[in-house]
């Protein structure tokens, strides 16, 4: 498929005179193809088309939407190697990583198709009429969940496939019956166009309204604001910086009709090295820590940015081993020059804080590579300095030594909301871990044992969310089948005749949905 640089608005391709080019992540050189910059008018057209498509799209059967999701997956797979090559050039991510990410993208599309076919997500409930109940009769009450309306989705910088145009936000919104307008990330417009054309093709093949999907691009952040302000948009899915998520949330809240912004933003993902685990395997933990920290240049929202442990010789041994492992750590290309500059600035800021000591740096690598950095401090300084909790997007982490368990617990209570927390422990650490658990359950969306947080399984039980600032809504997840719940709302039907009920609530249950029924 040849890149054109056009905007995809419904089934139309639109070219604009103002353009921009993608940059090669490794060299900084401009790549071929000039990409159109969407205007406020383009955003309005896409949103209006989405609004016009909504009633038709949401009325499709779960099976029809499942077939649509399957078709998107097939269309993406049919793009073949050119999709991976373009993503590699625009992001610097290795081809092997991108191959896996493509599989994750198509896999989660098919997972939501399976969820639709199971029917559980629609949560059909029936309380049949009780006309003879005393002292008051009960009406016939039936409930099902429907899509909230058109959704604006913002592509992420660090996952050009799995968290972008056809990523989890788009897949879950489509599954809910919601048209989607995607604001493509400006760092990988070619990748976005290729995937966008795959979705556009699937919309046409499945006979869906053209406004079911649109793709808008451009480097101007005002485009995103235009989308969120548009009255047709009923929800927003976003993965990115804390500042960007907060800005969009303020815009959405200031609308005449406020709408939810499901933003996944900032997390430093504390890792606890409990005493017996540290005593037993300090060296192995250190090696695994550096491997996790430097994977993908640390450009993961679940990167281990904070290590917590009790002071003592075992922690000293861990630090010495981590320092050695850093010397041969990888220095992969970072996604963009601006991300690289922000990383360097963050490392410099953290290193200048009172009480912070540099443990070590990784190799320099290429000019665009991420030079890993690990710092140490003590609990007293950490508790006094909120800057130490700021996420540094890249291979940077802070080790905090605590004098005793009570201080460790106090520090944990002071943490901001996080996506994950990890407990490295032995059986003898269970008592200590049990004291941490109530704190962590209030602070994070996922708690791990004896693993590293990088990597998120796409499945029914996964939670990729957490209290602010990890996300703007701790009740939600952006990964896993529960992600569909963000874009559904319940509607109750009281004493309506069968002919007016949604198919899933009719007496004959033609969709064969699982239903909760009381007589």
Residue 516 inside a domain? The answer is no
Count of beta carbons in the 10 Å neighbourhood of residue 165: 30
Residues 77 and 145 in one domain: yes
Give the CA distances from residue 194 to residues 84, 102, 182, 213, 381, in Å, rounded to whole numbers and listed in that order.
Answer: 10, 13, 13, 14, 49
Residues 295 and 394 in one domain: yes
DSSP 8-state code for residue 3: -
pLDDT-wise least confident of 329-338, 354-363, 431-440: 329-338
**Is the model's pLDDT at 426 over the cut of 90?**
yes
Residue % of the chain over a pLDDT of 70: 100
Residue 25 inside a domain? The answer is no
Per-residue confidence at 519, pLDDT binned at 50, 70, 90? Answer: confident
Tell me the C-alpha distance between 94 and 502, whole Å.
47
Residues 78 and 127 in one domain: yes
Tell me the C-alpha distance between 54 and 174, whole Å.
11
Per-residue confidence at 279, pLDDT binned at 50, 70, 90? Answer: very high
Q: What is the mean pLDDT of residues 500-509?
A: 97
Q: Are 420 and 302 in contact (CB under 8 A)?
A: yes
Count of beta carbons in the 10 Å neighbourhood of residue 481: 23
Host domain of residue 339:
270-449
Catalytic residue among 121, 301, 370, 396: 301
Residue 423 inside a domain? The answer is yes
Helices (H), 206-333: 222-229, 242-253, 275-294, 313-327
Residues 149 and 50 in one domain: yes
**Is the model's pLDDT at 339 over the cut of 90?**
yes
Residue 518 inside a domain? The answer is no
Q: What is the mean pLDDT of residues 231-260?
A: 97
Residue 458 inside a domain? The answer is no
Residues 194 and 330 in one domain: no
Give pLDDT, residue 417: 98
Residues 322 and 237 in one domain: no
Residues 235 and 275 in one domain: no
Give pLDDT, residue 96: 96
Residue 40 inside a domain? The answer is no
**Is the model's pLDDT at 330 over the cut of 90?**
no
Residues 6 or more apart whose CB falls under 8 angstroms from that of 96 comprise: none
Give pLDDT, residue 422: 98
Tell me the C-alpha distance between 337 and 243, whole Å.
19
Catalytic residue among 264, 370, 391, 396: 264
Residue 39 inside a domain? The answer is no
Residues 408 and 317 in one domain: yes
Residues 292 and 255 in one domain: no
Per-residue confidence at 364, pLDDT binned at 50, 70, 90? Answer: confident
Residues 232 and 363 in one domain: no
Q: Is 301 a catalytic residue?
A: yes
Number of domains in the chain: 2
Residues 385 and 481 in one domain: no
Residues 249 and 347 in one domain: no
Q: Is 416 a catalytic residue?
A: no
Give pLDDT, residue 366: 80
Kindly report the CATH number assigned to the domain that includes residue 433: 3.40.309.10
**Is the model's pLDDT at 455 over the cut of 90?**
no
pTM here?
Answer: 0.96
Residue 456 inside a domain? The answer is no
Kindly report the CATH number assigned to the domain that includes residue 94: 3.40.605.10
**Is the model's pLDDT at 1 over the cut of 80?**
no
């Amino acid at each position: 498929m040849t890149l054109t640089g056009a905007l995809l608005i419904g089934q139309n391709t639109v070219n604009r005179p103002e353009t921009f080019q993608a940059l090669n992540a490794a060299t900084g050189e401009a790549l071929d193809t000039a990409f159109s910059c969407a205007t406020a008018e383009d955003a309005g057209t896409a949103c209006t088309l989405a609004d016009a498509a909504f009633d038709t799209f949401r009325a499709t059967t779960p099976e029809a939407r499942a077939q649509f999701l399957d078709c998107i997956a097939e269309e993406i797979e049919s793009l073949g190697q050119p999709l991976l090559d373009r993503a590699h050039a625009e992001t610097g991510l290795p081809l092997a990583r991108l191959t896996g990410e493509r599989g994750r993208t198509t896999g989660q599309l098919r997972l939501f198709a399976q969820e639709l076919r199971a029917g559980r997500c629609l949560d059909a409930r029936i309380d049949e009429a009780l006309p003879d109940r005393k002292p008051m009769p009960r009406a016939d009450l039936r409930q099902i969940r429907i899509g909230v309306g058109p959704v604006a989705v913002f592509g992420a910088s660090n996952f050009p496939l799995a968290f972008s145009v056809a990523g989890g936000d788009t897949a879950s919104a489509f599954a809910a019956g919601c048209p989607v307008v995607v604001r493509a990330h400006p760092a990988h417009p070619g990748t976005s166009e290729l995937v966008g054309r795959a979705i556009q093709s699937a919309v046409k093949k499945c006979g869906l309204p053209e406004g079911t999907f649109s793709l808008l691009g451009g480097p101007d952040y005002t485009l995103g604001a235009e989308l969120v302000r548009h009255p047709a948009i009923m929800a927003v899915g976003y993965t990115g910086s804390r500042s960007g998520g907060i800005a969009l949330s303020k815009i959405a809240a200031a609308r005449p009709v406020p709408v939810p912004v499901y933003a996944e933003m900032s997390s430093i993902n504390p890792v606890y090295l409990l005493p017996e685990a540290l005593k037993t395997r300090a060296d192995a933990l250190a090696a695994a820590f550096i491997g996790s920290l430097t994977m993908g240049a640390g450009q993961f929202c679940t990167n281990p940015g904070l290590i917590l442990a009790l002071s003592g010789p075992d922690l000293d041994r861990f630090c010495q081993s981590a320092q050695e492992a850093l010397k041969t750590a990888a220095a992969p290309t970072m996604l963009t020059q601006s991300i690289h500059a922000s990383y360097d600035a963050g490392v410099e800021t953290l290193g200048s804080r009172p009480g912070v000591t540099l443990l070590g740096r990784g190799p320099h690598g290429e000019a665009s590579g991420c030079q890993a950095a690990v710092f140490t401090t003590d609990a007293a300084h950490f508790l006094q300095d909120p800057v130490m909790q700021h996420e540094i997007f890249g291979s940077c982490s802070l080790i905090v030594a605590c004098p005793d368990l009570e201080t460790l617990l106090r520090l944990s209570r002071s943490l901001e909301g996080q996506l994950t927390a990890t407990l490295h422990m032995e059986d003898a650490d269970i008592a200590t871990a049990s004291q941490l658990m109530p704190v962590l359950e209030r602070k994070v969306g996922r708690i791990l044992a004896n693993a590293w947080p990088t990597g998120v399984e796409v499945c029914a039980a996964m939670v990729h969310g957490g209290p602010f600032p990890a996300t703007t809504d701790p009740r939600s997840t952006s990964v896993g089948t529960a992600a569909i719940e963000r874009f559904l709302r319940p509607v109750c039907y009281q004493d309506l005749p069968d002919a007016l009920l949604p198919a899933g609530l009719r007496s004959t249950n033609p969709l064969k949905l699982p239903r909760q029924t009381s007589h």
